[in-house]
Amino acid sequence: MSSHGSILREKIEFIKGVGLNKAKILKSELGVQTVEDLLFIFPFRYADRSEFQLIKDVQDGDTVQLRGEIISITKKKMKRSARLVGSFKDPSGFIELNWFQGAQWLVDKLQPNQTYILNGKVKVYRGVKSISHPELESEQQAIETDPFLPVYSSTEKLNQKGLGIRSRRRIIKNILNRLKPADLIENLPSHFVEKLEICSRYDSLRYIHFPASPGALNLANNRLKFEELFFLQLNMLYNKVQRDKKLKGLIFNTIGTIFNRFYNEKLSFELTNAQKRVIKEIRYDLGRGVQMNRLLQGDVGSGKTIVALMTMLIAIDNNYQTTLLAPTQILAQQHFQSISEMVKGLGVQVAFLSGSVKGKVRKELLSFLKEGHIDILVGTHAILEDNVEFKNLGIAVTDEQHRFGVVQRSKLWVKNDQIPPHILVMTATPIPRTLAMTTYGDLDASVIDELPPGRKQIKTVHRNDSHRSFVVKFMKEEIAKGRQIYVVYPLIDESEKLDLQNLQTGYEELLNYFPRSDYQITVVHGRMKPQDKDIEMQRFVNGTAQIMVATTVIEVGVNVPNASVMIIENAERFGLSQLHQLRGRVGRGADQSFCILITKTQLSKYAKARIDTMCRTNDGFQIAEEDMSLRGPGDITGTQQSGVLELNIASLTEDGRILETARHLAVALLQKDPDLSLLKHKSTLSYLVKMRNKNQKWGRIS
């Protein structure tokens, strides 16, 4: 093949060992259509030909390499078919081998009492260890092949159609034997390759599939991880550069009467240095003529809402409207009430819109909004509806923005048909630095990293079911002091599958300890009608009820300074981030607050790690880092399901330093050549465009 990259573009069915039928399976199971597609599915581990396990030590689910003999192979009839059953022996014992399809040829090929190397996944059923469709090589064959054999993820269909790990190796080897350096044009700037001392793309692909040594594998890993993370960063930063060039931003030069009156007359406390720093960053954004897209991170109670409100007041001083979008009605109403209270007497018109606002009230509100009589509109997804029209929207604030889809959030951009409004997205879920760089990499980020003065650390303790009487005694002591208490459960109703405390039985048990004659208990969960939920919530907010029994519906949206105790039942069932969010519902007043994590006595290693972390620290960012190391980045942000963070080889939990380097170099490159128009960057731009066209999900990040 003479033209550059032509072997990579070749259809997979034309490769030796594939053909039309196998190509169909590769496409349906792995999404492979071309040689390049297959070549960039990397091994997830390597079989070291010198290391073997013993049969006596293997467990259910283990992927193993064994050395031993085949004692026998017999054919067993099943209802509709037959299977081959073999017995494999090593010095420590026996394991059963099974072949269900296409394995008749094995009867003649495999020789009893000859030493074989076996690779496969162990299954234990009724005490019998077995391996289905194992890979087998004679010891002599194994000695003559590569020292490290690639092991690829597979499926039952691939194995049944002759595309198991061994066949994949042969196909990859055929491709690599034809591959030439000219087929893989270098996509990184040449000075990067020299500065970082990384291997070429050509070498990295050869080494990643068939490394001759651990050193060669390390070279390949470093090169391919850097390349993946670099282009992910470059894509987001390039988007930002192009967006800033194309999208003009409203210029808010005036810091006027309303802002100054609020700051001088309404603020009853001194802003923290972190809040002042963030407001300064936002003011710079609002004055430079480019649309602001800023992420505001801050732990629970750090004062993000004040910063958002002051940002909105700047827009109002410049004769523009603003909106604050929240994911739930409870949180939206909380914002509406607190903002209305804070701007009282300033002449600022605040309105609330959700799905529950209907009829004449809704029609009148939408009319006022379109005519410009509403300065701040607070609400839920209802704000995104097409018939919600602003006269001149200047700033849109989104709270807990990861709960909104990309398409939903993009609707805010068109709410001003002249120039897109400035965007401020807030989250109380601390995001690890590496995850923030990847998921929100094209947003400017601000962090409020200090709590208001006078806030006391929440004391967190771990108790199990046997300590319940002590917990009840403590609850009564706190209520006697005039405090209020949350009790949170993971489920609403009983579940046969999960032996968990649930809200209904928990509520009934609490009535035994806290009778209605002496105490008031309110119940809130996600299946209640909004109006019923609001009534119950209000009983707790105004102090009528001393205890709120709830599911995680109260994770966001309840601000009751008098609530000083958070009790979380079955805490082992919650993720770290969720536990931290729930804990943040208390500690909002001047009194010492407590969080009690109640679990069963026996905990898994990961559950114990989560509970220990919660008891050790109140630092949301430290907790987020720990959460990511335990659960992975996709679980934290919900991006795994959308495919946004389906990295091919890099890991955000393990490759933070490579990511930092990749971002630093991407920033430096775009500062020197914002459009990547220089001749020496031609191949880098070409590859970036190719990746953007191939993976549309790249455009969905942020």
Which of 382, 406, 427 is the last residue before a domain boundary?
A: 427
> What integer is the mean pLDDT of 5-33?
88
Based on the fold, state whether residues 542 and 508 are members of the same structural domain.
yes
In a shared domain, residues 549 and 691: no
pTM for the model stands at 0.71
Q: If you average pLDDT over residues 425-432, what whole number do you get? A: 79
Q: Is the pLDDT of residue 96 over 90?
A: yes
Amino acid at position 494, single letter:
E
- Whether residue 386 lies inside any domain: the answer is yes
pLDDT band at 497 (very low <50, low <70, confident <90, very high): low
CA distance 17 to 39: 15
Residue 379 has pLDDT above 90, yes or no: yes
208-217, 459-468, 634-643: which range is least confident on average? 634-643
Helix and strand numbers, DSSP H then E, in the chain: 26, 21
Please give the average per-residue pLDDT across 405-409, as a whole number: 58
User: What type of residue is 355?
Assistant: G
CATH assignment of the domain containing 96 = 2.40.50.140
Average pLDDT, the chain: 86
* Identity of the residue numbered 75: K
- The answer to whether residue 607 scores a pLDDT higher than 60 is yes
The distance of Cα 164 from the centroid of its chain, to the nearest Å, equals 31
Within-domain flag for 647: no
Q: What pLDDT was estimated at residue 636?
A: 46
Q: What is the pLDDT of residues 508-518, one digit of tens each?
A: 999 999 999 99
**In the prediction, which pLDDT does 104 show?**
63
Looking only at the bridges linking them, the beta strands covering 115-125 and 128-132 are antiparallel
Q: Are residue 518 and residue 580 in the same domain, yes or no? A: yes
pLDDT one-digit tens code per residue, 22-60: 999 999 999 999 999 999 999 988 878 778 899 999 999
Average pLDDT over residues 345-359: 93
Strand partners, 129: 124
Looking at per-residue pLDDT, the higher value among 1 and 349 belongs to 349
CATH assignment of the domain containing 273? 3.40.50.300
pLDDT score of 496 more than 90: no
* Residue 680 token pair: 């020496």
d(Cα 405, Cα 387) in Å, to the nearest integer?
19
Tell me: pLDDT of 102 over 70. Answer: no
| Residues 564, 470 share a domain | yes
- Per DSSP, 483 falls in state -
Count of other CB atoms within 10 angstroms of residue 186: 15
Q: Are residues 397 and 472 in the same domain?
A: no
- For residues 608 and 535, membership in a common domain is answered with yes
SS (H, E, C) 126-164: CCEEEEECCEEEEHHHHHHCCCEEEECCCCHHHHHCCCC
List the single range of 172-176, 268-272, 327-331 with lowest mean pLDDT: 327-331
Residues 537 and 512 in one domain: yes
Q: What's the confidence (pLDDT) of residue 99?
A: 84
Torsion angle of the four alpha carbons 531, 537, 539, 545, in this order, in degrees rounded to the nearest 10: 140
- Scan for tokens 């196998």, then name that residue: 22
Q: Name the band, by pLDDT with cuts 50, 70 and 90, for residue 378.
A: very high
pLDDT score, position 80: 73
- Residue 508 CA to residue 491 CA, distance in Å, equals 14
Q: Using alpha carbons only, what angle is made at residue 308 by residues 302 and 311, rounded to the nearest 5 degrees? A: 135
Provide the pLDDT for residue 103: 60
Q: Which of 107-111, 314-318, 422-426, 572-576: highest mean pLDDT?
A: 314-318
The residue with greater pLDDT, 146 or 383, is: 383
For residue range 542-556, list pLDDT tens digits in order: 899 999 998 877 655
Tell me the average pLDDT across 255-276.
92
Does residue 37 form part of some domain? no
Read off the pLDDT of each residue in 444-453 and give the average, rounded to a whole number. Answer: 83
Number of compact structural domains in the chain:
4
Q: What is the pLDDT of residue 4?
A: 47
Decide which of 617, 633, 667 is a domain's last residue. 617
Residue 13 lies in a domain: no
Asked if 89 and 61 sit in the same domain, the reply is yes
Nearest to 267 by CA among 202, 320, 381, 346: 346
What band does 641 get if pLDDT is binned at 50, 70 and 90? very low
How far does the chain reach from its first CA to its final CA, in angstroms?
A: 41
Contact (CB, 8 A) for 219 and 199: yes
Q: Calculate mean pLDDT across residues 7-32.
A: 90
74 and 116 co-located in one domain: yes
In-domain check, residue 165: no
Residues 417 and 361 in one domain: yes
- State the pLDDT at residue 3: 40
Under the banding of pLDDT at 50, 70 and 90, the label for residue 527 is confident
Per-residue pLDDT band at 533 (split at 50, 70, 90): confident
Does the residue 598 lie in any domain?
yes
Say yes or no: 218 and 273 in one domain.
no
From residue 155, alpha-carbon distances to 26, 70, 298, 529 in Å are: 10, 25, 43, 45
Tell me what the mean pLDDT of segment 108-131 comes to: 86
Range of the domain at 138: 50-145
Helix, strand, coil shares, percent, the chain, to 5: 45, 20, 35
pLDDT at residue number 612: 94
* Rg, the chain, Cα only: 31
Which pLDDT does position 242 carry in this prediction?
86
Question: Phi, psi (5° rounding) for residue 377?
Answer: -105, 120
> Is residue 634 in some structural domain?
no
Same domain, 399 and 510: no
Residue that terminates a domain, selected from 145, 161, 181: 145
644: pLDDT strictly greater than 70: no
338 or 653, greater pLDDT: 338
Predicted pLDDT at 696 = 56
Q: Is the pLDDT of residue 639 over 50?
A: no
